[in-house]
Amino acid sequence: MAVAKIGDRVKIHYEGRLEDGTVFDSSEGREPLEFTAGGSEVIPGVSNAVVGMSEGENKTVTLSPEEAYGVHVPGLEQKVPRRLLPPEVRVGDPLQAQAGDQTIVVWVKELDDEFAVVDANHPLAGHTLTFDINLVEIIPAE
């Protein structure tokens, strides 16, 4: 039976949970997630976990922050005047911001009438995450 190798395209169904068991994402009811095994399209822990799996195989992996969305860096939070944000913005919304000549994504962490706190850390940065993975299909690399 074929196993996924680095460079193969794979399709998976998955469920991601926080340490307390809260599901933060799932492919249930959607098309399988497709990416290159061992590549950089998804978080490293998931990308690497599929290498060596066979079609139809299930695996549960627990990922450290470094294998997932990285460690939380406090210096990536910034207090900004509320008037600089769109009027309809809510806590948890992603926004695009300019950092020099780069466009980055920041998440709205706090809001009041005068100020907002935006955070360039991914909302799951600093968390240990558990993924249940089902390898649906392997598309061998050319």
Where residue 128 sits, what CATH number does that domain have? 3.10.50.40
Token pair, residue 122, equals 């991914």
Q: What pLDDT does 100 receive?
A: 86
Q: What pLDDT does 119 receive?
A: 96
Q: Is residue 36 part of a domain?
A: yes
Give the CATH number of the domain where residue 103 resides: 2.40.10
* In a shared domain, residues 35 and 18: yes
d(CA 37, CA 141): 10
* In a shared domain, residues 81 and 43: no
Q: What pLDDT does 8 receive?
A: 98
**Sites in the chain below the pLDDT cut of 70:** none
> Which residues is 94 bridged to in the sheet?
107
Q: What pLDDT does 98 receive?
A: 84
* In a shared domain, residues 66 and 130: yes
* In a shared domain, residues 61 and 96: no
Q: Which of 74, 75, 117 is nearest to 92 (CA)?
A: 117
* In a shared domain, residues 66 and 79: no
* Helix, strand, coil content of the chain in percent (nearest 5): 10, 45, 45
* In a shared domain, residues 60 and 104: no
* In a shared domain, residues 55 and 81: no
Q: What pLDDT does 1 receive?
A: 76
* In a shared domain, residues 45 and 111: no
At a CB cut-off of 8 Å and minimum separation 6, what does 106 contact? 78, 94, 95, 96, 97, 118, 119, 120
Q: Is residue 88 part of a domain?
A: yes
Amino acid, single-letter form, for residue 90: R
Q: What pTM does this model have?
A: 0.85
Q: Is residue 4 part of a domain?
A: no
d(CA 130, CA 125): 14
Domain count, the chain: 2
* In a shared domain, residues 64 and 128: yes
Range of the domain at 14: 9-70+124-139
